[in-house]
Amino acid sequence: MKKYRNFIFVIAFIALLLTQYKLVMPFVYKVISSDLFLVQSNDQASQLAISTPLTNIAFHYCNDFIKSDLGAETSVIFPDKPTNAWTLGNYQYLISAEITITGPEAESTNKKYACRITYNNGDDQAGINDFSNWSIIGVSGLKD
């Protein structure tokens, strides 16, 4: 049995590859092409920057989150509207803007940020003004 050890290993390896190629991958492709991961929503993704009431609310909630994250000792000046706002579909938004931060040392710096935020209630627009119905996924560009 010892002299056939390498031969058995090669045969088992080939059998494993064929099993994955002929059985596993076709099943994976069928699952991917099915509607299993499809989310039906009235909010469609857009590659172009948009401005809607929901993007404006998302912008203000991102600003509130940034202000609370930077702390009370830091002064922040926010613009009236975002530089760009995109909908990623299914009520997920990407907001970018430029803010002016003045720290405790009185140095003023302009920073561009990107904020990804999600409205959790989907097509139910009744709670759009309640911050507990929104989730901040992440903010980048503020910390060095």
Together in a domain, 22 and 86: no
* Same domain, yes or no: 58 and 26: no
Does residue 27 form part of some domain? yes
Q: Is residue 120 part of a domain?
A: yes
Instruction: Answer whether residue 45 is part of any domain.
Output: no
For the chain, the C-alpha Rg in angstroms (whole number) is: 25
Question: pLDDT tens per residue, the chain (144 residues)?
Answer: 678 899 999 999 999 999 999 999 999 999 888 887 776 777 777 788 888 888 999 999 999 999 998 888 888 999 999 999 999 988 999 999 999 988 777 678 889 999 999 999 888 888 889 989 999 999 998 775
Looking at the fold, whether 27 and 82 belong to one and the same domain comes out as no
Q: Are residues 81 and 130 in the same domain?
A: yes
Within 8 A by CB and 6+ apart from 128, the residues are 53, 54, 57, 119, 121
Q: Are 124 and 42 in contact (CB under 8 A)?
A: no
Strands of the chain, DSSP E: 75-77, 84-89, 92-102, 108-119, 134-140
pLDDT at 124: 83
Considering the domain architecture, whether residues 68 and 15 belong to the same structural domain is answered as no
Question: What is the model's pLDDT at position 44?
Answer: 77
Tell me, yes or no, whether 14 and 69 share the same domain: no
d(CA 18, CA 38): 30
Give me the DSSP letters along 63-79.
Answer: HHHHHHHH-TTSEEE--
Number of independent structural domains in the chain: 2
Same domain, 20 and 84: no
Max CA-CA distance within the chain? Answer: 79
Instruction: Quote the domain boundaries for residue 119.
Output: 53-140
| Whether residue 68 is found in the same domain as residue 14 | no
